[in-house]
Structure 1
Amino acid sequence: MIVERTVVRPHWKKGYRVTAGERRGFSDVHDYRRYRLAPPPHGYRWVRADHDFLLIGITNGVISSIISGR
């Protein structure tokens, strides 16, 4: 018997604090220019969550900006 899983993606919102567990599933975006993203301000970094780009605070994990998948 094959069991299918339904993956529910969180709906990212500006101001949402990303948990440490959620952050482990993200990949850092070092080549942000390739994706036509603005350079991250000091204290922030771009991460990729599925097909979305999130600008999050390095120390607090709060989402500052969201770019929907391209």
Structure 2
Amino acid sequence: MRHDNWRRGYRLPPNDWRRGQRVDYRAYHLAPPPRGYEWRQVDGNYVMAAVATGIIASTIIAASR
């Protein structure tokens, strides 16, 4: 699924945050998140966002099929 609005500095919608699964960044060779951030996998995409605010720091968007 495309998420064109998922960019650095944008807010990850609360519904997307809640349905996303927390990701062990080491297992997926992702950059370690800073304190207060975590990686989530939503719709096959990886998003690092602030836990408290949902502000996106980094994204890895799945390729379209």
Q: TM-score, normalised by structure 1?
A: 0.74
Find the partner of 2:30 among 19, 37, 61.
37
**Cα distance in structure 2, aligned partners of 1:43 and 1:17:** 15
CA RMSD of aligned residues (A): 1.8
Q: Which has the higher contact order (CA 8 A, sep 6+)?
A: 2
Of 45, 51, 56 in structure 2, the residue corresponding to residue 52 of structure 1 is: 45
Structure 1 gap ranges (5+): 1-7
**Residue matched to 2:22:** 28
- CA shift, 1:66, in A, is 0.7
* Structure of higher CA gyration radius: 1
Identity of aligned residues (%): 39
- Unaligned runs of at least 5 residues, structure 2: none
Partner in structure 2 of residue 4 of structure 1: none
The aligned length equals: 62
TM-score by length of 2: 0.79
Q: 1:28 to 1:51 in 2, by over 3 A?
A: same
1:68 and 2:61 aligned: yes
